Structure 1
Amino acid sequence: MQDDMTGPLLGIRVLDATAALSGPVATQILGDMGADVIKVESPDGDTIRGMGPARHDGMGAMFLHTNRSKRSIVLDLKEGAAREAFVRLSGTCDIVVCNTRPKAMARLGLDYASLSKERPGLVYVSIVGYGAGGPDSDKPAYDDLIQAVAGIPLLHAPGEPPRYAPIAVADRVTGICAANAALGAMVHKLRTGQGQHVEVPMFETIAALVLADHMAGLTFEPALGPPIFQRYVSIRRPFPTADGSICLMVLTDKQWRTFFNTAGQPEVMDDERFKTVASRTRHLEALYGIVASLLKQRPTDEWIALLQEADIPVAKLETVQSLMSHAHLIKTGFFQALQHPSEGAIRTVAKTSNWSLTPTGPTRPTPRLGEHTREILAECGYSPQQADELIAAGAAREAP
């Protein structure tokens, strides 16, 4: 954890009313930037607390990797006293992030319209499944469902069965976009004093991600051809070598000439089909067929040495296990080994960006359920006796 709090969001307070992945990803980004993130959980806790290996109940691996740099308070929002505490807490915050369906928050009186009456400068970010105004705006959304409606499972090689991306890409990309939206709204607030409600819909976010690559000919009116960028769906994959696989990216005219010179087949670039980017794009299957036949003739390590020497972009095919000891990640401090107060020795991803003045990174260990309930209630003006009463009534809960 950072010894000296220097992040760019130092002094910004965030109320994290999210669960699962999209919202927690967003708020962890803000927490790693130095914001004081207060995670409001139900008495049962975030749904992902139980996912993955764990030393203790409620502290699973996925939760540990998505909820550091936060404090946890338990409020049972079905109880009026807990809702009052939520309102008081929101009055101390600059940003509220929520991924509960808007109508549910409105019924509780915890939506933007309700909270902003007392705090007009509040930034309220709602992560929803589908944007307001459409016929699907009230539908629930989960990563698998959003991948499906955005067409991702069918973006595999023709003839292969549909399958989801093997990471929660819809949740995590939406979370990153929500953090970006919160930061943009905060800049506006700091300039003008005005808060606002920002909606970040998962479907639209992931549909944009897919269509930016694959709208292709449908970009134009009238269409200049069908959708789908064929290199991505039918050709883009590691190439087999004599003893394994290799990953390379050859794009420019110079790179293609260098590649075929290195492979001992310079005459390939004399073919009219391969002389320009436009013509190569039209004949990708033929081009990549030649590449594949050449790469099968030598072992992986020999190709990597040859192509690196020729300055051709190339990479080894790594596994999750090999990433844990990847020389570059180790040297740059990507991982951080730390002693968690309750979970013991753990390893976490420490940073994904480098800052010259206000470095970011984990600021707090991932909290146990309700670990900071009393502390946060006190910051909202609750006396120890009032906190006792909330807990005794079941409106709040603290960690053992």
Structure 2
Amino acid sequence: MIPLLSGLRVLDLTSVIYGPLIGQVLGDFGADVIKVESPEGDLARGIQPRGPQGDSAMFVCNNRNKRSIVLDLKTAGGREVFTRLLRWAEVFVHNMRPAAIDRLGFGFAPVAAINPEIIYCAAVGFGSGGRYAGRPAFDDVIQAAGGIAALPSYRGQDPAYVPGVMADKVAALTATYGVMAAIAARGRGMKGPIEVEAAMFEAVAAFVLNEHLAAAAFGGPPESAGYHRMFAADRRPYRTLDGWIAALPYTEQQWRRLLEFTGREDVLEAPWFSDPGERSAHIAELYTVLAEEMARRSTDDWLRALQELDIPHARVNRLEDLLRDPHLQDVDFFAPNGSGLARSARQPVRFPSLPDQPDRPAPALGADGQDVLAMLGYDAAGVAALRGAAAFG
């Protein structure tokens, strides 16, 4: 934990990955994050594999540095406690569909009436004002809608999902920088409620189109979109004699060094090679040469050669290789965080001049409920009444 946001009060009404990752990042930077869960708990708690304490690795990896309270927001008592938490909070984050949060009475306008200085972050699937607003959204759906799944089709392959929860994480980090901007604005004197809306579809579309707008950015037709370098069939991990490697010569000097090393003077002598525009137009041919040459040597031979040639490169790591990667070991990337985990991926942003503090492990369901209620002013009788009404667990 890095104490840059110490004292910031965050109310987290989120589940699975998209919402919880926002709260975890804020907690990693020192915010006091209270996670409100239903009596059934965050859906992610039950996803396999599960650790000895019963919670899943997915839950534990997205909910460190938080406290947990169980409230049934369908009850009057649960909503009363939640209203007190909204008065306590400086930031409120949820990833419920708009109609669902409105049914509970905690849309932006009612919450702003409860707390006129709230930073209200709605992490939604599709932005309000658009015709898709309110639709259900999960990672695969947004990978498809946002253009990720179709990218392989530009290389003659079938559309495919990235085999990772890409859309949730891109959207979560987008939402987080929106919240951080609001926090900064508050610190610079902005008054009144601030509404932050982060939509998965728009976040992923922006992520994909950053380089792929291409000629369409200058007014070309929609069909002119697409960064051609990315669609070359041989821009890919390369097979060596005994494995796989990534190599990416980019400048003329890097290509020249590699082609001289491999004896491909025929390419160096091509009339288009020394002109940047022409070389870019022939990039697919260069990648094909690269693929041919990579297949002639072992992975270790190439790693040594590319290091000496000062050309960007990497071994193609599998998941298990990351867990053994010496650089990640050097920088203490993996560390236990309790909750039954022997290792977790730490917050990747570092502030070397600031002291780290120990992370708080992801909380057991409702583990901090009594403390949170006491903080809100409930006495023993009040807690008992909430339990009796099934509002608090």
Bin for the TM-score computed over the shorter chain? over 0.9
Which stretch of structure 1 is more off in the superposition, 268-277 or 31-40? 268-277
Please state if 1:38 is matched with 2:34. yes
| CA 41–229 in structure 1, closer or farther in 2 if over 3 Å, else same | same
Counterpart pick for 2:121 among 112, 120, 125 = 125
3-state SS of paired residue (2:68): strand
Confirm or deny that 1:191 pairs with 2:188. yes
Q: Deviations over 1:186-243 (max 9, x none)?
A: 1111222333111111111100111112122211224497222233233331111122
Structure 1 residue ranges (4+ consecutive) displaced by more than 3 angstroms after TM superposition: 222-225, 356-362
1:21 corresponds in structure 2 to 17
Once the two structures are TM-superposed, the CA of residue 43 in structure 1 deviates from its matched residue by 0.7
Q: Distance in 2 between matches of 1:22 and 1:77?
A: 21
Offset, 1:132: 1.0
Aligned partner of 1:372 among 362, 368, 383: 368
Query: TM-score when scaled to structure 1?
Result: 0.93
The reply on whether 1:171 has 2:168 as its aligned counterpart is yes
Task: Give the superposition deviation at 1:44.
Answer: 0.6
State the shift of 1:159 in Å: 3.3
- Aligned twin of 1:326: 325
Cα deviation for residue 360 of structure 1 reads 5.5
In the alignment, what sits opposite 1:217? Answer: 215
- Alignment partners' CA distance in 2, 1:190 and 1:176: 21
Q: Distance in 2 between matches of 1:323 and 1:330?
A: 10
Residue identity in the other structure for 2:211: D
State the shift of 1:58 in Å.
4.6
Q: Does 1:248 align with 2:244?
A: no
Sequence identity (%): 38
Note the 1:1-400 alignment, pairs <5 A. Answer: 7-56=3-52, 58-156=54-152, 158-192=155-189, 193-223=191-221, 226-233=224-231, 234-338=233-337, 340=338, 343-344=339-340, 346-359=342-355, 363-397=359-393
Give the 3 Å change call, closer, same or farther, for CA 120–353 of structure 1 in structure 2.
same
The SS at the match of 1:126 is strand
Aligned residues: 390
What's the TM-score once normalised by structure 2's chain length? 0.95
Q: Which residue type is aligned with residue 175 of structure 2?
A: A
In the alignment, the residues of structure 2 paired with residue 225 and residue 16 of structure 1 have an alpha-carbon distance, to the nearest angstrom, of 42
> Structure 2 counterpart of 1:321, which letter?
E
Contiguous gaps of at least 5 residues in structure 1: none
Alpha-carbon contact 1:41-1:75 (below 8 Å) kept: yes
Q: After alignment, is 31-40 or 224-233 more displaced?
A: 224-233
How much does 1:47 deviate? 0.9
Distance 2:113 2:327 in 1: 50
Q: Quick one: which amino acid aligns to residue 228 of structure 1? A: G
Shift of 1:122: 0.5
How many angstroms apart in 1 are the aligned matches of 2:253 and 2:355? 39
C-alpha distance in structure 2 between counterparts of 1:300 and 1:204, whole Å: 40
Between the aligned partners of 2:55 and 2:203, the Cα distance in structure 1 is 30
1:358 shift after superposition: 3.6
3-state SS, counterpart of residue 152 of structure 1: coil
d(CA) in 1 for partners of 2:390, 2:222: 62
8 Å contact from structure 1 (residues 218, 227) kept in 2: yes
Q: Which runs of 5+ in 2 are unaligned?
A: none
Instruction: Tell me the distance in 2 between the aligned counterparts of 1:308 and 1:116.
Output: 56
Please provide the CA RMSD for this pair. Answer: 1.8
- How far residue 120 of structure 1 moved from its aligned partner, in angstroms, is 1.1
